[in-house]
Amino acid sequence: MTKLNTSKWTKYKLLRKSSKLNVNLPETAWLRKSSFWRMIKKYRELIIKPTGSYGGNGVIRIKKMAPSTYEVQDGATKKIFTQQSQLNAYIKKQASKNNIIQQRIPLATVNDRPFDLRVMVQRRLKSPWEVTGKLAKVAGKGFVVTNIRLSSGKVVSVEHALKNSALKTMRAADLLSQLDKVALQAAQKLGPFYPWVRTMGIDMALDKEGNVWIIEVNFIPMLGLFLKLKDKSMFHKMKSFRKNIPINES
């Protein structure tokens, strides 16, 4: 079998074929002027990101503030566009960089800062997939991306994030169980297309209603973030699956 492209766009299209996972996937499209205007009208807030990069690089948020006013946030920098022609020129420039566009999920927050989740799913040779670790990444002040290096955010346990968010009124055990279920379904869907992959770092999110979302799937996840947790047992378990997984987060 020819090796499939491992871009975000290709993996999204494969996951979208699963009837089970459709409800967990934010609408995503290849960035074009037509797809941008269709989706900004539908969702009012979108994320633009490169299909081939990792680590939060190049992620931009665009939010419709008023009928002809749009806020563009790149890192901690915000710009306001009040003319459609200006925004069209900006979108055209971004579209030339092989970007995808995605419905922005209203992430649950800790102290008004959005957080998402890294769920590690691994398998040993000829064994089923299993969840081997989870953590929460809290965005730095003023950022919408949760990448720790880019936003100067912080890593906390998923339990800590849930307890200190508006989701604390929901049963943590139920939320954790749903995260595991969706992560395993994603690995089981992608696994046959990428048979050489035995470790997946799945970036997931909980919205403000507690719904589970798959943001993207990384086949070369770094483990360094798990060393930032007080409990190092998940890190040691993950290392036992693969001796050569990179440790330093890039």
Longest dimension (CA), the chain: 56
- Residue 61 structure tokens: 């948020």
Distance CA 170, CA 208 (A): 11
Question: What dotted CATH number matches 107-241?
Answer: 3.30.470.20
pLDDT at 145 over 60: no
- Residue 246 structure tokens: 């990179």
- Residue 98, pLDDT score: 87
Distance CA 103, CA 91 (A): 16
**Interhelix angle 172-190/8-16, nearest 10 degrees:** 100
- Residue 169, pLDDT score: 87
pLDDT at 56 over 60: no
- Residue 151, pLDDT score: 47
Q: How many CB atoms lie within 10 A of CB 114?
A: 21
- Residue 23, pLDDT score: 96
pLDDT (average), residues 139-155: 61
Kindly report, residue by residue over 89-122, the tens digit of the pLDDT. Answer: 988 888 888 899 999 998 898 888 889 999 999 9
Q: Where are the domains of the chain?
A: 23-103, 107-241
Residue 38 in 3-state DSSP? helix
- Residue 60 structure tokens: 């931009």
Where residue 16 falls among pLDDT bands split at 50, 70, 90?
Answer: very high
Where residue 51 falls among pLDDT bands split at 50, 70, 90?
Answer: confident
pLDDT at 184 over 90: yes
Check residues 92 and 130 and name the one with the higher pLDDT: 130
Contact 161, 214 (CB under 8 A): no
- Residue 147, pLDDT score: 55
Residue 187 in 3-state DSSP? helix
- Topology of domain 23-103, per CATH? Dna Ligase; domain 1 (3.30.1490)
Check residues 96 and 187 and name the one with the higher pLDDT: 187
Among 90, 93, 88, 70, residue whose Cα is nearest residue 80: 70
- The predicted model scores a pTM of 0.88
- Residue 1, pLDDT score: 42
- Residue 112, pLDDT score: 84
pLDDT at 27 over 90: yes
Contact 238, 226 (CB under 8 A): yes
- Residue 101, pLDDT score: 94
Name the average pLDDT for the chain: 87
Task: Return the beta strands (E) in 175-250 as ranges.
Answer: 199-206, 212-218
Q: Which of 34-43, 46-55, 191-200 has the lowest mean pLDDT?
A: 46-55
- Residue 21, pLDDT score: 97
Among 55, 54, 37, residue whose Cα is nearest residue 46: 37
Kindly report, residue by residue over 214-236, the tens digit of the pLDDT. Answer: 999 999 888 888 999 999 999 99
Amino acid at site 227: L
Distance CA 64, CA 41 (A): 8
Residue 238 in 3-state DSSP? helix
Residue 41 in 3-state DSSP? helix
- Residue 30, pLDDT score: 94
Distance CA 56, CA 147 (A): 6
Amino acid at site 167: L
